[in-house]
Amino acid sequence: MCKKVAPAITESYQEVFRTKSGCIYQSDIEKSLLVEFANKIARFDIRCLQRLKSAVFSINLAEMATDTSRTTDVEIISLCACEHCYVLTLGEIINFRELLAGAFVMFELNSIIQERIYSIPVYA
Amino acid sequence: MKDLMRLRSLLGTEVEALLNNQIKMEAYNSSVYLAMASWCDRNGFDYSADHFYKQAEDEREHMLRFFKYVSDMGGTAVSPSVDGIPQEFESFREVFETALELEVKTTQAINNIADKCYKEKDHVTVEFLNWFHKEQREEEYVARRCLELFEVIGEEGTGRWEIDKAIPSVSYGNE
């Protein structure tokens, strides 16, 4: 049986955003992102990570917190065409949101820096 | 660090979301026009039914233009689900009032996308939207003129029959 090996955080990966609960890294060489969260490391491309963020932010936390049935203790997040799946508790979802939101703010900031500092002066 | 998001897509996250909302809105409009065509057919307004069938086609074409654009620019075009389509209308006049309201809302929505694009300096999408600005001029003109027929002709006697007959001749040709 083939055993899947978790992706390693090699030197090509730069830290994008870190919280107490996890970290997101980016590799320019592999053009991929590593998400270190909930005791695992998973590789995503940027589109998958965007979909993951949408999925995590679309969970109704208020409903989850007030519903007393056992099925709402955890939320299963699985994305189509993506091999990773997360089973998260309410607290983990809040932490994951913080991590993902922070990473996407950094992506936006990087985008502004790329445009304002690098692109324009090069061709000016 | 490379800007992976920009390399993957020309569209910013918020503009992409607005364009996907517009896809949904155009699909909704198409379905409402189809419901209007059905209502007109049921009530004997053949020419108006044809008018709304054509409007339904136009709205679907608009939806596809947005859909293709999002997809071509590297975004994720979301195939829309539409529900809550009104199937019944109080009167012949209400059908046309609803049509004008739809077009006004559509113009406002497209203006909002353009506002966002200007804010984000996304001039590529602004240029794409220019076709729709022009199209909305025509759509609103036609919807308003159709409704005005109710005042000009009047609904008394054979009025509604005459209005129905006059609907196909309403067009915006002053380019």
Question: pLDDT of B34-57, one tens digit each?
Answer: 999 999 999 999 999 999 999 999
A46/B8 CB distance under 8 A: yes
Q: Taking residues B14-30, what's their average pLDDT?
A: 97
Of A28, A46, A104, the CB nearest to B1: A28
Q: What is the pLDDT of residue A121?
A: 63
Of A47, A104, A110, the CB nearest to B1: A110
Report pTM: 0.81
Any idea which residue has 């077009």 for tokens?
A: B103
- Model confidence at A2, pLDDT cuts 50, 70, 90, reads very low
Nearest CA in chain A to B2: A28
CA angle A24, A95, B20 (to 5 degrees): 75
> Å from B6 to nearest chain A CA?
7
How do the residues of chain A divide into helix, strand and coil, expressed in percent and rounded to 5?
45, 25, 30
Round to whole Å and give the CA distance between B35 and B94: 13
Q: How far is CA B14 from CA A36, A61, B151, in A?
A: 26, 23, 42
- Model confidence at A5, pLDDT cuts 50, 70, 90, reads low
Q: Is the dihedral of CA B79, B84, B88, B94 positive or negative?
A: negative
B13 versus A21: the higher-pLDDT residue is: A21
The 10s digit of each residue's pLDDT in A68-90 is 887 768 889 888 777 788 999 99
A47/B2 CB distance under 8 A: no
ipTM: 0.72
* Mean pLDDT rounded to a whole number for chain B: 95
Query: Is B136 within any annotated ligand binding site?
Result: yes
Cβ–Cβ < 8 Å for B74, B10: yes
